[in-house]
Chains A and B, each alone.
Chain A
């Protein structure tokens, strides 16, 4: 097992660039009287442009790991560095700013805000960052949606879109501010095969064009097989980190 992990790392280790994500001996405990250690000393690097799948059975700690990397949660011990910044000393506002600047999220259930149109949903991270909407932001959001094949759905609200379309809007939202890292939690888990393939291909295309790193949590072996690297988490430990086994 140790050899497998080393082998998986070797492909991206020697290029010398700063990793987008660097975790060192990260643990995460839950509970007060009875403490459960969900992550048990994770070491993990994610390099720029890498498209990595995070797999593992339910309860293995995937979501907890994703939350830590996404700065939505803090580690009990160990180092979490994002884009070269050690997040240990950052307060909530600084973490939020860093998250907004560096990370895009794609969730399983799209999680678009139903009160806003597609283009507004895509603009919202930018509006939150700048403090107000602007024409430049709107143009950027519209272009992103056009790239996602949503040109004729710009003014639609999420309730008027299909599942695949909603997920495409969610991806556009995650990408709009040009983050270095996209965290996707089962982005195709809620879609049929055709829509799932479309969404995945889009993410792959963006990954190639923008060189953004992707960490995709998935249960779907066919999705994992199309990634550059597959990291498997079992019981709070990384048990394998390797190139995918292609069929």
Chain B
């Protein structure tokens, strides 16, 4: 064992109180950081999962219809109104008020080609066509307004994993089969095999048999979605052969916005990511992350100051011993290393204990409250990345906070230290 390790380890073993104090500091810090990070990342991923569990990462739709100038008027004579607007005779009249036309349901031009193009975009993992519009569902006396969604079941499953989200029945929308949410099924009092009538504002109507009832853990979706085949929706919404949107899933969910922008540039269509559609959620997640980062930064600073102050006291107490070590041939560099090694060892040992504290705290917290399905209400995310990150942090904090005391020890004048301690 090298000299520096030999001395550092022995001093740690002998200086029990200081060692225990520093270990407590580091392990509490690491424990808090692990617990906090595990909880916040767990909550965040659960929030994101819930949000994205019922929506596509990016939705592409046709561009909005813009107002067109129908009359190209020229100012005649000295029209007082035109003069008041700053126009001279002979100048072009300008539109003073632009009125956006009501957006009708339109198809994406040459959508099969567009879909193929989008599939080639880097980071896109699934693409699915969608025909969506408003409709009513009636059953007996009950009428509900619903979101009618015509889908390609195979492709749609790659966007939202429907088969695993079925409460009863199967996910199948062949012919006149439909799949609805648990909320709507309850409202209408329907079960598998029952029939419902779907009616659009244009008066088109069709009858569907309930093949399955899904639960996407989202009340709005469960209460309103009626999934039918692409063809049925095209007929009902008068969009023969067309689709109203393309839904996409991407590999990295936080890359969704940049992928949406690149798709929009490529196709000239409107592409909206889940991040743009859930701005509030994103702001919430970001502020949660920054407050967590801030707390962690303060914990790190507190731990570093704790280690540094205990080590400084230690160096002062050991002044004479350091002087003696120097007298019989220990170099300044060796003394410096002894204290840096102590910092490193304390960081590493504190991390080990801290991992235990953080993990136990997280698991206890996760087990405190559970959902009806047994999953924790406050999920925690204890990842290898978190453990490695805190390990690197504990080592750096240990090393950095030992630097000042170590330099102080190395700079001691041996004669002075031996005689005055």
Which A residues have a C-beta under 8 Å from some C-beta of B?
Answer: 63, 67, 70, 72-73, 92-93, 96-97, 99-101, 104-105, 107, 111, 113-116, 120, 124-125, 127-133, 173-174
B333 within 8 A of A: yes
> CB < 8 Å: which of A63, A73, A100, A130 contacts B328?
A100
Residue tally, chain B, CB below 8 Å to A? 28
Q: Are B327 and A132 interface neighbours, CB within 8 A?
A: no
Q: How far is the CA of A132 from the CA of B330 in the complex (A)?
A: 12
Q: Are A128 and B10 interface neighbours, CB within 8 A?
A: no
B320 within 8 A of A: yes
Question: A115-B13, A116-B10 in contact; A127/B324 too (CB < 8 A)?
Answer: no
Q: How far is the CA of A132 from the CA of B334 in the complex (A)?
A: 12
Can you list 5 contacts pairing A with B, beta carbon distance less than 8 Å?
A: A63-B419, A96-B331, A100-B328, A113-B325, A120-B10
Provide the B26-37 mask, 1 if CB < 8 A to any CB of A, else 0.
Answer: 000000000000
Q: How far is the CA of A111 from the CA of B418 in the complex (A)?
A: 8
Q: Are B6 and A127 interface neighbours, CB within 8 A?
A: yes
Q: From residue 2 to 32 of chain B, which have CB atoms closer than 8 A to chain A?
A: 2-3, 6-7, 10-11, 13-15
Q: Are B1 and A96 interface neighbours, CB within 8 A?
A: no
Q: Which residues does chain B contribute within 8 Å of A115, judged by CB atoms?
A: 10-11, 13-15
Q: How far is the CA of A133 from the CA of B3 in the complex (A)?
A: 7
Q: How far is the CA of A135 from the CA of B237 in the complex (A)?
A: 91
Q: How far is the CA of A16 from the CA of B414 in the complex (A)?
A: 34
Q: Shortest distance in angstroms between B409's beta carbon and chain A's nearest beta carbon?
A: 14
Q: How far is the CA of A132 from the CA of B2 in the complex (A)?
A: 4
Q: Are B328 and A105 interface neighbours, CB within 8 A?
A: yes
Q: How far is the CA of A183 from the CA of B170 in the complex (A)?
A: 94
Q: Are B328 and A124 interface neighbours, CB within 8 A?
A: yes
Q: Which residues does chain B contribute within 8 Å of A72, judged by CB atoms?
A: 326-327, 413-415, 418
Q: Shortest distance in angstroms between B341's beta carbon and chain A's nearest beta carbon?
A: 14
Q: Are A100 and B13 interface neighbours, CB within 8 A?
A: no
List 4 tightest A-B contacts by C-beta distance, closest first: A100-B329, A115-B14, A72-B415, A125-B328
Q: Are A128 and B11 interface neighbours, CB within 8 A?
A: no
Name the prevailing secondary structure of the B interface residues: helix
Provide the B326-359 mask, 1 if CB < 8 A to any CB of A, else 0.
Answer: 1111111110000000000000000000000000
Q: Are B330 and A96 interface neighbours, CB within 8 A?
A: yes
B119 within 8 A of A: no
Q: Which residues does chain B contribute within 8 Å of A104, judged by CB atoms?
A: 328
Q: How far is the CA of A101 from the CA of B327 in the complex (A)?
A: 11
Q: How far is the CA of A111 from the CA of B325 in the complex (A)?
A: 10
Q: Are B11 and A97 interface neighbours, CB within 8 A?
A: no
B321 within 8 A of A: yes
Q: How far is the CA of A113 from the CA of B326 in the complex (A)?
A: 12
Which B residues have a C-beta under 8 Å from some C-beta of A?
Answer: 1-3, 6-7, 10-11, 13-15, 320-321, 324-334, 413-415, 418-419
Q: What residue of chain A has the Cβ atom nearest to residue B329's Cβ?
A: A100
Q: What residue of chain B has the Cβ atom nearest to residue A132's Cβ?
A: B2
Q: Are B327 and A105 interface neighbours, CB within 8 A?
A: yes
Q: Shortest distance in angstroms between A111's beta carbon and chain B's nearest beta carbon?
A: 5
Q: What residue of chain A has the Cβ atom nearest to residue B5's Cβ?
A: A132
Q: How far is the CA of A105 from the CA of B1 in the complex (A)?
A: 25
Q: Shortest distance in angstroms between B320's beta carbon and chain A's nearest beta carbon?
A: 7
Q: Which residues does chain A contribute within 8 Å of B1, judged by CB atoms?
A: 132-133
Q: Which residues does chain A contribute within 8 Å of B11, judged by CB atoms?
A: 115
Q: Shortest distance in angstroms between A115's beta carbon and chain B's nearest beta carbon?
A: 4
Q: Which residues does chain A contribute within 8 Å of B418, judged by CB atoms?
A: 72, 107, 111
Q: What residue of chain B has the Cβ atom nearest to residue A117's Cβ?
A: B10
Which of B1, B320, B418, B419 gathers most chain A CB within 10 Å?
B418
Question: A96-B332, A104-B328 in contact; A128/B415 too (CB < 8 A)?
Answer: no
Question: A67-B415, A107-B418, A127-B6 in contact; A113/B333 too (CB < 8 A)?
Answer: no
Q: How far is the CA of A184 from the CA of B419 in the complex (A)?
A: 13
Q: How far is the CA of A120 from the CA of B326 in the complex (A)?
A: 16
Q: Which residues does chain A contribute within 8 Å of B320, judged by CB atoms?
A: 111
Q: Are A93 and B415 interface neighbours, CB within 8 A?
A: no
Q: Shortest distance in angstroms between A241's beta carbon and chain B's nearest beta carbon?
A: 24
Q: Are A129 and B332 interface neighbours, CB within 8 A?
A: no
Q: How far is the CA of A107 from the CA of B414 in the complex (A)?
A: 13
Which of B11, B14, B325, B331 gathers most chain A CB within 10 Å?
B331
Q: Are B329 and A73 interface neighbours, CB within 8 A?
A: no
Q: How far is the CA of A173 from the CA of B324 in the complex (A)?
A: 11
Q: Which residues does chain B contribute within 8 Å of A113, judged by CB atoms?
A: 321, 324-325
Q: Which residues does chain A contribute within 8 Å of B7, judged by CB atoms?
A: 124
Q: How far is the CA of A24 from the CA of B259 in the complex (A)?
A: 82
Q: Which residues does chain B contribute within 8 Å of A116, judged by CB atoms?
A: 10
Q: Are A128 and B332 interface neighbours, CB within 8 A?
A: no
Q: Shortest distance in angstroms between A22's beta carbon and chain B's nearest beta carbon?
A: 20
Question: A72-B414, A115-B11 in contact; A128/B3 too (CB < 8 A)?
Answer: yes
Q: What residue of chain B has the Cβ atom nearest to residue A114's Cβ?
A: B14
